[in-house]
Structures are given as structure tokens and as C-alpha cells.
Amino acid sequence: MENEREPQAGSAAQGLKLAHMNPLVLASASPRRAEILRSVGWPFETLVVEIDETPRAGEEARAYVERLAREKAEAAARRVPGRVALGADTTVCVDGEIFGKPVDKSEAQIMLRRLSGKWHEVLTGVALVRAGEDALCLVAHEITRVRFASMSAKEIEWYVATGEPMDKAGAYAIQGRAALFIEKIEGDYWNVVGLPVQLVYRLARDIS
């Protein structure tokens, strides 16, 4: 397990010591989710788990992200009984179609052409799971609407060539170069980055 306890002395977490912000086990290798937790002073450790992320036949985006978040959290919680594991999964939905991470540059370009000049939804499932005698499982999701500006073929080619889209759901990072092409956003910005931390906090309050 990689120890990711943050931040250092004098931080918001150590200053407030909110009961709802007890240490979590983050079941994710995402540097973006880790950075969001650090930014609000939430102590955590990472425990990377592997699950099958293939959508099931007929599975809607909301059910898909909640299922993956729960499976990730459950896999981590089994390895650290008594601890609360946080699982999360983010996907992009365009006209009812789920867009995960592109497998190559060609698929990234296809995704960006579909996003260009349109609204789409970003969905993140969140799960807090604890295994053992005091077991619990809380699952929810957040939805944010995002509108892309129209992108030319050269702009799409340039953006894909940066490499930024390749490990991102929907082939873009709103906190990166893709910000050049974001016209509007309705909802939680952090959800689009990869972790709706206010939703995590609401669920954590239900545990206390």
C-alpha cells in the first residue's frame, strides 16, 4: 500500500479535525482524485485494486458508474477490514452512449469530434464501504453537464497529440488544455475532474 497521508502540519485537516473527515482508503490510482482529497485536507492512503470495467449489456451510465465505484470500494475494503474504503468511477455520456478512456489516438479523435459543439454529461459514481462486523455500503452518483465549443480538425489533432486525452474518460481533462474548449458547465466542477468531493463529504457525514 502506498502511503498518501496528507497534508502536513498546519493544514485544514489538522486544524479542523472534522469527525466526518476520518482517514479513507482510496481505491484508485488516479492522481487527480488523490490531489482533490489533498486539496481539502482529507487524510487518506491509496490501495489500488483491479476490477473488470466492461459495461454490461443494456447498463445505463448511472448504474454503470455506481456499480464500478462499489466494486472498487468493496475490493479495497476486504483487504483492510474495519477501514472505510472510497471507490469512484467517472464516465462521459453522449446521447446515451458511454465514453470511457480512449484505447488509442484514433478513438480519442472520434470522441472529441462527438463532443465538439455539444452538451454532454459527466457522471461519477461514489461508494464508501467498510467490511467486517461494522459493515456499511453507501453508494451515490453526481452528474455535471458540460458544453464543448466547436473544435476544428486541427484543434482536435493538436489536442490529441499532447497526449492529455489518453487516460481520461471522454478523452479530455477539463483542468488541463481542454479548458480552452469548454464553453459552459452546469454542476460540480470537481465531478468533471474525477471526484465530487462534496458528495463524498455528504456520504461521510451519514457514517458518523
- Residues forming the active site: 89
Give me the residue label for grid cell 454542476: 187
Cell 457522471, residue located: 123
Integer-rounded Cα radius of gyration of the chain: 17
**Number of CB atoms found within 10 A of residue 34's CB:** 19
Cα–Cα distance for residue pair 201/203, rounded to 1 Å: 5
In degrees, rounded to 5, the angle at the alpha carbon of residue 80 between the alpha carbons of residues 74 and 85 is: 45
